[in-house]
Amino acid sequence: MKKSKIVSPCVILAIESAIGQGSIALVSGSRILAESRGEASRSETLSVEIEKLADKLPAGLDSIGRIAVSSGPGSFTGLRIGIATALGLARALDVPVSGIALLEAIASQTALETDFMVATSLGRSDVCFQYFSPGGIPAGPPQALSFVEFTKFTAGRKNPLIAESSLFGRISGETEALGQLELLRAPENLAAVIAFQSEISSDREGKIEPIYVQSPRAISVF
């Protein structure tokens, strides 16, 4: 049984280590207390960055009341690093930990009143994406395509596409091919998005099942 910590409001350590160079955030309520981007995708730098951020808290690591980590989709190695670090730190601090589906977390931060897609880079050459209904309700499973095939697949669609920052930059250069597609940028710090989602998620604490997506084709939902 996890010990009860007197931390009000709860400070959440969030880890996203499977997209690009990753990100880390310390969140309390609606506030981002501290954040770091670009040093979370390797095990030797992730722990160091977490300690640096925790040093900004009154009681250091002991100020953390909960841990949230991306369960994917993302790179295989990055997911393993993030989840292993989160589980190990949760045991050391005796706090609850939960895995959060990244694409669903991004979708939950939007107020779109139409069907839409959320997409992230998947390695250097692929794209992972998922369809959602208004309110951020999943309308299909995560899928993956090469970047070239993804631009062909989405060309001419009118539903909004929310893309994480690195993918947003790549897609922005393909506006002629994409036609009327409405392109939106996801929040810069994906770890913070993970933290916010963990506060409303019904996922069972301690049970983290990585979401691995490897697919050469995609199925249209809308």
Do 66 and 24 fall within a single domain?
yes
Supply the pLDDT for residue 1.
44
Give domain status of residue 20, yes or no: yes
Residue ranges of E strands in the chain: 11-16, 23-28, 31-37, 64-72, 97-101, 116-122, 126-133, 137-138, 143-146, 161-163, 183-185
Do 65 and 164 fall within a single domain?
no
120/87 Cα distance (integer angstroms): 24
Do 87 and 192 fall within a single domain?
yes
Q: What CATH number does residue 161 fall under?
A: 3.30.420.200
Supply the pLDDT for residue 5.
44
CA distances from 178 to 155, 160, 172 (A): 4, 12, 9
Do 193 and 87 fall within a single domain?
yes
For residue 205, is pLDDT > 50?
Answer: yes
Do 59 and 156 fall within a single domain?
no
**For the segment 124-176, what is each residue's pLDDT rounded down to a tens digit?**
889 999 999 999 999 999 999 999 899 888 887 888 999 998 899 888 877 66
Residue 171, SS3 per DSSP: helix
Q: How confident is the model at residue 215 (pLDDT cuts 50, 70, 90)?
A: low
Do 68 and 116 fall within a single domain?
no
Do 114 and 96 fall within a single domain?
no
Give domain status of residue 216, yes or no: no
Pair 101, 71: CB distance under 8 Å: yes
Structure tokens at 60: 């250091």
**Domain enclosing residue 29, as ranges:** 11-101+188-198
Supply the pLDDT for residue 207.
73
Look at phi and psi of residue 179 and say left if phi exceeds 0, alpha if psi is from -120 to 50, else beta.
left
Supply the pLDDT for residue 175.
65
Do 166 and 147 fall within a single domain?
yes
Do 138 and 90 fall within a single domain?
no
Q: What is the mean pLDDT of residues 110-128?
A: 92
* pLDDT > 90 in the chain, percent: 58
Q: How many domains does the chain have?
A: 2
For 2-11, 14-23, 101-110, which range has the lowest pLDDT when averaged over its residues? 2-11
pTM: 0.88
Give domain status of residue 205, yes or no: no
89/131 Cα distance (integer angstroms): 33
